[in-house]
């Protein structure tokens, strides 16, 4: 069974991404939004010493982040707090994202992330033996949703050869106003510019791989899509999103998937222990 038509496969190869409107149903999107709201509701920040510790704050935050690879962890928007360290708006409107093992640990996200339809789609994107390393629920909250600068997802999910594909589901309409994705079609044909790896102290660090500049923003196009749309993009495709200053949130759910026929780098920040082995679709 093949999901993509010839022109869609060509778009993925030539542009580095393919947009699939109405891939998911309204009921599916609603169930993910509802489940995410429940997770945030159950999240008690006061028990989260990693976030509020005054001593050695950055090390604790790094540990909280690294451990999230095998957990369901909530992260705040950078602009969520006032100068006194208090939330400026209710908790539900303060969370930046939930990560990174929703697809393995939460029954609702597990079901959605391992559907027959995704299993059938993966080979059309050169994923013959899928491995889903990460899931993220991204809120892009009204007013405070932070920008994400130019990057390539292969910087985080490095394999030889590069195989990572990002599955980006719009859970709400994504527009220029609320911070949709931007990219330059075809720019995945450029080099990998940087990598993010865990160093021997288990701290996430960045280094240059290739100093080629990022695309010029005047060459970037916005990917404005309706709720239910799936955008699949190549791991080398540079992309960014602007901050959200609008009244509307821009929820999205993402999966990062590599091919098991390639070599997954031992210094990628996401690794799996024997307790939670990596799975495919």
Task: List interacting residues with Fe ion (CB under 5 A).
Answer: 153
CB of 196 to Fe ion, least distance (A): 11
CB of 163 to Fe ion, least distance (A): 16
CB of 171 to Fe ion, least distance (A): 16
Please answer whether residues 154 and 262 qualify as being in contact, where contact means their C-beta atoms are separated by less than 8 angstroms. Answer: no
CB of 239 to Fe ion, least distance (A): 6
CB of 232 to Fe ion, least distance (A): 13
CB of 269 to Fe ion, least distance (A): 14
Q: Which residue is nearest to Fe ion (CB)?
A: 153
Residue placing its CB nearer to Fe ion in the complex, 87 or 197:
197
Residue placing its CB nearer to Fe ion in the complex, 141 or 241:
241
Residue placing its CB nearer to Fe ion in the complex, 153 or 172:
153
The closest of 105, 110, 107, 99 to 69, measured between CA atoms, is 99
Work out the widest C-alpha separation in the chain, in whole angstroms: 56
Burial class (CB in 10 A: 0-12, 13-18, 19+), 208: exposed
- Residue 94 to residue 81: CA distance in whole angstroms: 8
Per the structure block, which two tokens stand in for 171?
């859970």
The closest of 137, 96, 139, 140 to 244, measured between CA atoms, is 140
CB of 182 to Fe ion, least distance (A): 11
Q: Which residue has 């891939």 as its token pair?
A: 23
Asked if the peptide bond before residue 106 counts as cis, ω within 30 degrees of 0, the response is: no
Q: Torsion angle of alpha carbons 195, 234, 113, 172, nearest 10°?
A: 100
CB of 240 to Fe ion, least distance (A): 8
Residue placing its CB nearer to Fe ion in the complex, 43 or 150:
150
Residue placing its CB nearer to Fe ion in the complex, 15 or 153:
153
Residue 18 CA, distance from chain mean position: 16
Residue placing its CB nearer to Fe ion in the complex, 49 or 212:
212
Residue 218 CA, distance from chain mean position: 24
HSE, side-chain direction, 13 A CA sphere, residue 155: 21
Per the structure block, which two tokens stand in for 262?
């390639």
Residue placing its CB nearer to Fe ion in the complex, 41 or 78:
78
Residue placing its CB nearer to Fe ion in the complex, 120 or 194:
194
Give the phi and the psi of residue 70 in degrees, each rounded to 5: -120, 30
Per the structure block, which two tokens stand in for 14?
């030539």
């Amino acid at each position: 069974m093949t999901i993509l038509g010839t022109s869609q496969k060509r778009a993925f190869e030539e542009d580095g991404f393919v947009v699939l409107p109405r891939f998911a149903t309204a009921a599916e999107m609603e169930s993910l939004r509802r489940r995410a709201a429940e997770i945030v509701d159950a999240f008690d920040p006061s028990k989260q010493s990693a976030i509020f510790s005054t001593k050695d704050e950055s090390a604790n935050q790094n540990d909280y982040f690294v451990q999230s690879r095998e957990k369901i962890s909530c992260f705040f928007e950078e602009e969520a707090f006032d100068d006194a360290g208090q939330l400026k708006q209710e908790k539900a409107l303060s969370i930046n994202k939930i990560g990174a093992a929703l697809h393995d640990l939460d029954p609702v996200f597990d079901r959605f992330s391992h559907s027959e339809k995704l299993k059938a789609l993966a080979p059309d994107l050169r994923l013959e033996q899928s491995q889903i390393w990460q899931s993220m629920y991204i809120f892009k909250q009204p007013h405070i949703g932070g920008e994400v600068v130019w990057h390539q997802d292969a910087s985080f999910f490095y394999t030889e050869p590069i195989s990572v594909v990002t599955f980006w589901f719009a859970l709400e309409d994504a527009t220029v106003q609320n911070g949709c994705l931007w990219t330059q079609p075809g720019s995945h044909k450029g080099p990998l510019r940087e990598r993010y790896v865990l160093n021997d102290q288990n701290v996430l660090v960045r280094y240059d791989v290739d100093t080629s500049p990022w695309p010029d923003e005047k060459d970037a196009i916005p990917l404005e899509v309706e709720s239910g749309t799936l955008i699949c993009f190549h791991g080398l495709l540079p992309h960014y999103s602007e901050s959200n200053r609008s009244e509307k949130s821009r929820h999205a759910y993402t999966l990062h998937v590599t091919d098991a026929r390639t070599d997954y780098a031992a210094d990628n920040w996401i690794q799996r222990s024997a307790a939670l082995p990596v799975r495919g679709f």
